[in-house]
A and B are shown apart, each in its own frame.
Chain A
Amino acid sequence: VTLRPPELALQTPQETTDLHRLGDLWQAADDLGYRAAFTFDHLVPLFPGERPGSRHDGERTGVQLDGWLTAAVLAGRTRSLQVGTLVSGITYRPPVVLAKLAVTLDHATGGRAILGVGAGWHRAEHEMFGLPFPNPTDRLRQLEETVAAFELLCQDATTSFRGTQVQLQDAVFEPKPVRPEGIPVLIGGSSPRLLDVAGRRADIYNGFAAPGEWPAVHDRLDRAALDAGRAPSDVRRSAFVRADLTGDDQRAADLVEQVAVSREEPAAVAATRVLGGSGDALAAGLLRFAAVGVDLVVVSAGPTVTPEDLGRLAAARADVAGGGAR
């Protein structure tokens, strides 16, 4: 049996005001047959390697543009990419504002929006701007109710929904999404209880797991999906992957080292979760994720990534996809 490599997507953090450069990346990805492109959704730039649970000190420097507006602008350079944010913490905006953003982007793109959401994790920015940052249990509940309410708003003429965190009363929400099946919901994150919510509610789950960790992720997602009366295949699996796409083996090795240090894990494990190096190495990396049932690989496209880099990854994928498929 030949493994089919995962489809490709990219995330371009808008920690720059050069939207033209980001637009070049999105346009390239569109031309190269990538499946999706995402901005990210924070209010301040992140420290390098900053993620849930990591500790960082020091002055935050740099810029951060709004994720949704940026996605809308960049989407104008594309024809077939699915577009969205990876991901919007549900603590930033009232559910209806988030829903309005998603359906507006959907219409702006002729039905290509993805609603990417997570439970929120960046305590510092909440404190900085005085945004409520509830405990994890309430945030997960808010996440689940936000997604549930979004789906109701997209389906019904009027919606009355009484959740514990989200309430709607005779709510009118027009227009509906472009696609009859609605806007796919991507839920991102990694805690076990978030996996349960994703198994129950998501069309796509996105996580940071290394290939060796994916079987446990699948188990949890599958169980939650089955418990909710869904098929496990209703939840597509997406892996967020750090990548060096320059084709330079030394730079790839440096990235592995950097990831190993920041995650406090052996380089051998870090090497499995990073994409980098020559075309063969990139292809092998994609197949590592394919082998554990990942459908979509989202590469993080930082400030130095070029359209040529994206082409290198697309070519590596095409080499192992067989039959000339992109």
Chain B
Amino acid sequence: VSTVLITGGSVLTCTTGSHGAPVALWARRTDLLVVDGRIAELPTAERTADEVIDATGMLVIPGLVQAHVHLCQTLMRGLADDCDVVEWLRTAIWPAEQAHDEHSLRASAELGIAELLTSGTTTALTMETALSTEVVLDAVDRLGIRAIVGPALMDLQEPGTQMVAQSIAQALATVTDLVKHFHGTAGGRVQVALSPRGTYNGTPELWRECVRLADEWDLRLHTHASENAAQAERLERTFGQRDAQALAEWGALGPRLTIAHGIWLDPAERALVRSRGAHICHCPTANLKLGSGIAPVPDYLAAGINVALGTDGAACNNSLDGVAEMRLAALLHKPRYGPQAMPAERVFAMATMGGAAALGLQDVVGRLEPGLAADITCLRLDGLHVSPAPVQPARRDAELDAAALASSLVYSARASDVDTVLVQGEVVVRAGQLVSADQVAISTEAAVQRARLTARLP
């Protein structure tokens, strides 16, 4: 039995808040006792453990959950800026994905995971490229993040790009192999998802097969939909249906599905998403940077749709910083919906419970409660940029001003404030540095593989 005690911190967690439900926060000056990877209790009396982490002066939150990431694109950071998604795919990202080999993919995944963990994200739903996804899953296993990883599946070409389509048989054989080798390994920390790349580049047959397998193996579905207005309209012209309607017809629109972006859903689509219980992952930075649009997230939340947050890939964000993403998600909607829209507490709920629900992990992560996995992020709140921090009672078990803590986190904190991160009870970041691998080695290898990758580009 291994035990970890996190002492002296300000513990902040949501207790409700997914699916648009009112957000309830809970904040205490309390210790957290971790036993065998799970939160065992929030002890009111003095306890000891194998490892004691002094979190005095720190904010202790559930590790952030990102519901849309591409680890394979981390190496492509800054490769194509200031263009729309089709141009971005056509000129840079798709050629670069095709130029990946196992070495560059591994470097990309390791860099991405290192960035996610050191910036406080402990769980990610990530869509990879068509090939060699086992390399990414292996990196997930070794570096200690919790992730649901799927190769991008597509049997139709994206118009205007040179993207290569696979046969359904090829695509499914790949996934089947990954499920057999990786799904549920590392104590459930490593999982495999079915990730048709988009509504517009999978045939109905591919989609139906994915749905069948997802049901059979209890897997998550992850796709891009309604990201770019032109793409969304094109599907309507081709299939006579908009994204959500098509997904519903294929049987995909349900609680297993996370739709990345979901910017251009019309009212009928929103109603469908709501009634079928699918999730939307809001990616505000990527949406702004590619000029895709602004998802009407307050409307989705008001309708009762569960919304999660994601940075998307470093190729379009250009960072995987979940803390910065919270700040943008809070600010972005205020000009249209008013300053009361998207308060810090709501965004914090999206970044934790919302993500957990989207990933089907609502009983595993996203909150700090006994019985849940010890996926925990501790941030220092002593930087100039968060000062003066709200004055809070110092005595053990005192109730704290949760709204003030959420404000510090969402509006003031930075990823560089992240000090300690645990995933499944294992310390993966200490004093802001990755402990599960050598950060310098990762960044050096990333520079090497970036050079190799760009040398292979046509």
Contact of A163 with B447 in the complex, beta carbons under 8 Å: yes
Query: Bound state CA distance, A268 and B441, in angstroms?
Result: 38
Query: Bound state CA distance, A196 and B441, in angstroms?
Result: 9
How many residues on the B side are at the interface (Cβ–Cβ under 8 A)?
Answer: 17
Query: Bound state CA distance, A160 and B451, in angstroms?
Result: 6
Taken residue by residue from 138 to 158, chain A's Cβ proximity to chain B (1 for < 8 Å, 0 otherwise) reads as: 001100110010011001111
Query: Bound state CA distance, A140 and B440, in angstroms?
Result: 10
Taking the closest CB of chain A, its distance from the CB of B437, in whole angstroms, is 7
Whether, in the assembled complex, B167 has its beta carbon less than 8 Å from a beta carbon of chain A, the answer is no
Contact of B441 with A152 in the complex, beta carbons under 8 Å: no
Taking the closest CB of chain B, its distance from the CB of A303, in whole angstroms, is 40
Taken residue by residue from 71 to 108, chain A's Cβ proximity to chain B (1 for < 8 Å, 0 otherwise) reads as: 00000000000000000000000000000000000000
User: Given known contacts A152-B452, A161-B447, is B441 in contact with A144 (CB within 8 Å)?
Assistant: yes
Query: Bound state CA distance, A162 and B451, in angstroms?
Result: 8
Taking the closest CB of chain A, its distance from the CB of B208, in whole angstroms, is 37
Chain B residues whose CB sits within 8 angstroms of the CB of A155 once the complex forms: 452, 455
Whether, in the assembled complex, A228 has its beta carbon less than 8 Å from a beta carbon of chain B, the answer is yes
Whether, in the assembled complex, A2 has its beta carbon less than 8 Å from a beta carbon of chain B, the answer is no
Chain A residues whose CB sits within 8 angstroms of the CB of B447 once the complex forms: 145, 148, 161-163
Contact of A141 with B450 in the complex, beta carbons under 8 Å: no
Chain A residues whose CB sits within 8 angstroms of the CB of B440 once the complex forms: 140-141, 144
User: Given known contacts A141-B444, A163-B444, A164-B443, is B103 in contact with A152 (CB within 8 Å)?
Assistant: no
Chain B residues whose CB sits within 8 angstroms of the CB of A213 once the complex forms: none
Whether, in the assembled complex, A227 has its beta carbon less than 8 Å from a beta carbon of chain B, the answer is yes
Contact of A144 with B444 in the complex, beta carbons under 8 Å: yes
Contact of B454 with A160 in the complex, beta carbons under 8 Å: yes
Whether, in the assembled complex, A229 has its beta carbon less than 8 Å from a beta carbon of chain B, the answer is yes
Contact of A152 with B106 in the complex, beta carbons under 8 Å: no
Query: Bound state CA distance, A85 and B452, in angstroms?
Result: 28
User: Given known contacts A156-B455, A196-B438, A227-B438, is B444 in contact with A162 (CB within 8 Å)?
Assistant: no
Contact of A228 with B441 in the complex, beta carbons under 8 Å: yes
Taking the closest CB of chain B, its distance from the CB of A117, in whole angstroms, is 15
User: Given known contacts A141-B440, A196-B441, A200-B441, is B450 in contact with A148 (CB within 8 Å)?
Assistant: no
Chain A residues whose CB sits within 8 angstroms of the CB of B452 once the complex forms: 152, 155-156
Taking the closest CB of chain B, its distance from the CB of A201, in whole angstroms, is 9
Taking the closest CB of chain A, its distance from the CB of B71, in whole angstroms, is 16
Whether, in the assembled complex, B52 has its beta carbon less than 8 Å from a beta carbon of chain A, the answer is no
Closest chain A residue to B437, Cβ basis: A227
Query: Bound state CA distance, A161 and B454, in angstroms?
Result: 10
Taking the closest CB of chain B, its distance from the CB of A165, in whole angstroms, is 9
User: Given known contacts A148-B448, A151-B448, A229-B106, is B441 in contact with A159 (CB within 8 Å)?
Assistant: no
Closest chain A residue to B448, Cβ basis: A148
Chain B residues whose CB sits within 8 angstroms of the CB of A227 once the complex forms: 142, 437-438, 441
Chain A residues whose CB sits within 8 angstroms of the CB of B437 once the complex forms: 227
Closest chain A residue to B102, Cβ basis: A229
Chain A residues whose CB sits within 8 angstroms of the CB of B142 once the complex forms: 227
Chain B residues whose CB sits within 8 angstroms of the CB of A197 once the complex forms: 441
Query: Bound state CA distance, A227 and B440, in angstroms?
Result: 13
Contact of B444 with A158 in the complex, beta carbons under 8 Å: no
Chain A residues whose CB sits within 8 angstroms of the CB of B444 once the complex forms: 141, 144-145, 148, 163
Whether, in the assembled complex, B84 has its beta carbon less than 8 Å from a beta carbon of chain A, the answer is no
Contact of B438 with A158 in the complex, beta carbons under 8 Å: no
Closest chain B residue to A161, Cβ basis: B451
Taking the closest CB of chain B, its distance from the CB of A227, in whole angstroms, is 7
Chain A residues whose CB sits within 8 angstroms of the CB of B397 once the complex forms: none
Whether, in the assembled complex, B445 has its beta carbon less than 8 Å from a beta carbon of chain A, the answer is yes
Chain A residues whose CB sits within 8 angstroms of the CB of B451 once the complex forms: 152, 156, 159-161, 168
Taking the closest CB of chain A, its distance from the CB of B32, in whole angstroms, is 30
Contact of A161 with B103 in the complex, beta carbons under 8 Å: no
User: Given known contacts A141-B440, A144-B440, A196-B438, is B454 in contact with A228 (CB within 8 Å)?
Assistant: no
Closest chain B residue to A160, Cβ basis: B451
Query: Bound state CA distance, A144 and B447, in angstroms?
Result: 11
Taken residue by residue from 219 to 240, chain A's Cβ proximity to chain B (1 for < 8 Å, 0 otherwise) reads as: 0000000011100000000000
Query: Bound state CA distance, A200 and B450, in angstroms?
Result: 17
Taking the closest CB of chain A, its distance from the CB of B188, in whole angstroms, is 24
Q: Which of A175-233 contact B (CB under 8 A)?
A: 196-197, 200, 227-229
Taking the closest CB of chain A, its distance from the CB of B104, in whole angstroms, is 12
Query: Bound state CA distance, A20 and B377, in angstroms?
Result: 66
Taking the closest CB of chain A, its distance from the CB of B117, in whole angstroms, is 16
Query: Bound state CA distance, A247 and B451, in angstroms?
Result: 52
Query: Bound state CA distance, A161 and B451, in angstroms?
Result: 6
Max chain A C-beta neighbours (<10 A), residue from B444, B450, B454: B444
Query: Bound state CA distance, A196 and B448, in angstroms?
Result: 17
Contact of A152 with B443 in the complex, beta carbons under 8 Å: no
Taking the closest CB of chain A, its distance from the CB of B196, in whole angstroms, is 29
Chain B residues whose CB sits within 8 angstroms of the CB of A145 once the complex forms: 444, 447
Chain B residues whose CB sits within 8 angstroms of the CB of A140 once the complex forms: 440
Query: Bound state CA distance, A164 and B439, in angstroms?
Result: 13
Chain B residues whose CB sits within 8 angstroms of the CB of A158 once the complex forms: 455
Query: Bound state CA distance, A238 and B103, in angstroms?
Result: 27
Taking the closest CB of chain B, its distance from the CB of A219, in whole angstroms, is 16
Closest chain A residue to B103, Cβ basis: A229
Contact of B448 with A161 in the complex, beta carbons under 8 Å: yes
Taken residue by residue from 427 to 457, chain B's Cβ proximity to chain A (1 for < 8 Å, 0 otherwise) reads as: 0000000000110110111011011101100
Query: Bound state CA distance, A163 and B450, in angstroms?
Result: 11
Taken residue by residue from 292 to 318, chain A's Cβ proximity to chain B (1 for < 8 Å, 0 otherwise) reads as: 000000000000000000000000000
Chain B residues whose CB sits within 8 angstroms of the CB of A228 once the complex forms: 441, 445
Contact of B443 with A159 in the complex, beta carbons under 8 Å: no
Query: Bound state CA distance, A160 and B106, in angstroms?
Result: 20
Closest chain A residue to B142, Cβ basis: A227
**B103, B438, B455: which contacts A159 (Cβ < 8 A)?**
B455
Taking the closest CB of chain A, its distance from the CB of B37, in whole angstroms, is 23
Taking the closest CB of chain A, its distance from the CB of B387, in whole angstroms, is 30
Taking the closest CB of chain A, its distance from the CB of B161, in whole angstroms, is 24
Chain A residues whose CB sits within 8 angstroms of the CB of B441 once the complex forms: 144, 196-197, 200, 227-228
Query: Bound state CA distance, A254 and B437, in angstroms?
Result: 45
Chain B residues whose CB sits within 8 angstroms of the CB of A160 once the complex forms: 451, 454
Q: Which 7 A-B pairs have the closest CB atoms?
A: A156-B455, A148-B448, A161-B451, A163-B447, A152-B451, A144-B444, A162-B447
Could you write out 7 A-B pairs with CB less than 8 Å apart? A152-B448, A160-B454, A196-B438, A196-B441, A200-B445, A228-B445, A229-B103
Binding site for B on A (CB under 8 A): 140-141, 144-145, 148, 151-152, 155-164, 168, 196-197, 200, 227-229
Q: A141-B440, A151-B448 are in contact. List 15 more A-B contacts (CB 8 A).
A: A141-B444, A148-B447, A152-B448, A152-B452, A152-B455, A155-B452, A156-B452, A156-B455, A160-B451, A161-B447, A162-B450, A163-B447, A200-B441, A227-B438, A227-B441
